[in-house]
């Protein structure tokens, strides 16, 4: 497919974070962009403001004529009326990952893979490259505060992309440089079991790295990936490219970095958590490889302001704080709770968690319970179903019963703000990938209203 021939693109599921980045890419190139999504959101409203045409009902009468390309997300069911109709029209119909692969093939690509940390790492890397004079393009999985967008348009040959293991999407990429952050069991509805995830997922992705390229992997996962001639390891306290002496100073996570060719002490990261120091370690390693200078690395890490819903501090004043995080896997919950403990030592930490997907809740129930037990107080919402139908016996009451922490209770959406008033939390975390983010502004308003209480 020749990108120059595309004049009108139709997105089914345009409001998704990865889909909207692609839509912005085409829109920026002067292509006419249309799309469908099931609900209007702040993001879809922004896309409309940028000149795209979007509707929210499954209606064939609203599908435009003269479409050059249809892009869809695997989250859309195969029975979707518009998708079925367009498949029968002879128009090219491609998954988002396929289109991203086509775009990146004409560029030098850094692909960031892993079950956790992709968005943070790719966003830090993009910021560091641009601070260092490399005007890269980037397709990101979150709204990055420094850019105000999930798409960054650049003029250089380099593009930074997230390599998503869901639906084996990342196998459409052929990167020059790749990072694998983690390979925890996830998306078992796609892969079936952990070994299949490793073999047909991450090992297959490693094999896609271009000849003469470089693959960086967290040192704790290197053995499970297997033997690759071009692999390098990184991490905190381990790996060839390593960070250490991690501490909190003046509100920044501070650390020292060492590799065969660099030593940089006293690096400061505005984001909280040791896991983000590890993400930053991977990002700065690649940035250094591409020629970014040490001073630009130092200034870039300190000035990186984070990503919407990635340990996003929405309120902090007079010993109280409110943090919102997208965490929807046990290890992500542990990372967020651990970061809060380090950043707010001695404070009572209350967490509101909305489980995402019945299947994920079933598969990781014990892990979720153990992670949430690390909170001082647990408010558990009902499971957000997304694309799934209920699974018998799998609900939030069942998950609550697995928790050993006695300070726990179920909360409904309708009573959530009232429950927060009752809890009067010192540090509050909202956690989950469903629609819990719709409570961000009301909760922030509660904290601001009760600033002195």
Q: What are the catalytic residues? A: 118-119, 162
In Å, what is the CA distance from 273 to each residue of 71, 143, 342, 393? 36, 20, 7, 35
Contact 306, 343 (CB under 8 A): no
Contact 19, 71 (CB under 8 A): yes
Structure tokens at 240: 């060839």
Residues near 244 by beta carbon (within 8 Å), at least 6 away in sequence: 236, 237, 255, 256, 258
**From the CB of residue 192, how many other CB atoms can be counted at a distance below 10 Å?**
11
Rounded to an integer, what distance in angstroms lies between the CA atom of residue 288 and that of residue 294? 8
Structure tokens at 275: 């896991």
Tokens 């641009």 correspond to 130
* Residue 108 bridge partners (DSSP): 158
């Amino acid at each position: 497919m020749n990108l120059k021939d595309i004049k009108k693109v139709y997105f089914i599921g345009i409001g998704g974070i990865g889909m909207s980045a692609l839509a912005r890419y085409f829109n920026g190139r002067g292509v006419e962009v249309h799309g469908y999504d099931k609900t209007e959101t702040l993001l879809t409203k922004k896309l409309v403001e940028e000149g795209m045409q979007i509707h929210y009902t499954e209606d064939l009468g609203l599908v435009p004529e003269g479409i050059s390309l249809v892009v869809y997300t695997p989250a859309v069911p195969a029975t979707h009326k518009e998708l079925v109709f367009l498949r029968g029209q002879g128009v090219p119909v491609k998954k988002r990952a396929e289109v991203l692969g086509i775009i990146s093939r004409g560029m030098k690509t850094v692909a960031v893979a892993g079950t956790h940390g992709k968005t943070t790492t790719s966003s830090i890397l993009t910021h560091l490259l641009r601070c260092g004079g490399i005007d890269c393009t980037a397709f990101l999985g979150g709204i990055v505060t420094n850019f105000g967008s999930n798409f960054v348009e650049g003029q250089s040959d380099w593009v930074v992309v997230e390599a998503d293991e869901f639906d084996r999407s990342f196998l459409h990429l052929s990167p020059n440089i790749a990072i694998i952050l983690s390979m925890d069991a996830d998306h078992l509805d796609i892969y079936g079991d952990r070994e299949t995830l490793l073999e047909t997922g991450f090992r297959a992705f490693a094999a896609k790295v271009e000849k003469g390229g470089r693959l960086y992997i967290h040192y704790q996962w290197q053995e499970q990936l297997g033997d690759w001639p071009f692999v390098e390891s990184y991490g905190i306290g381990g790996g060839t490219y390593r960070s250490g002496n991690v501490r909190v100073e003046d509100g920044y996570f501070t650390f020292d970095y060492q590799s065969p060719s660099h030593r940089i002490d006293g690096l400061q990261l505005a984001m909280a958590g040791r896991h983000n120091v590890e993400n930053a370690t991977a990002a700065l390693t690649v940035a250094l490889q591409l020629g970014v200078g040490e001073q630009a690395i130092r200034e870039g890490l300190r000035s990186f302001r984070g990503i919407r819903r990635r340990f996003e501090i929405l309120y902090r004043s007079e010993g109280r704080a409110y943090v919102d995080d997208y965490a929807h896997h046990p290890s992500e919950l542990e990372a967020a709770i651990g970061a809060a403990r380090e950043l707010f030592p001695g404070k009572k930490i209350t967490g509101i968690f909305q489980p995402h997907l019945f299947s994920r809740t079933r598969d990781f129930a014990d892990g979720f319970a153990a992670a949430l037990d690390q909170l001082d107080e647990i408010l558990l919402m009902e499971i957000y179903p997304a694309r799934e139908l209920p699974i018998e016996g799998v609900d939030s009451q069942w998950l609550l019963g697995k928790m050993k922490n006695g300070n726990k209770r179920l909360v409904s959406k309708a009573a959530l703000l009232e429950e927060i008033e009752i809890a009067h939390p010192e540090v509050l975390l909202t956690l989950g990938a469903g629609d819990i983010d719709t409570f961000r502004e009301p909760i922030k308003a509660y904290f601001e209203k009760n600033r002195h209480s």
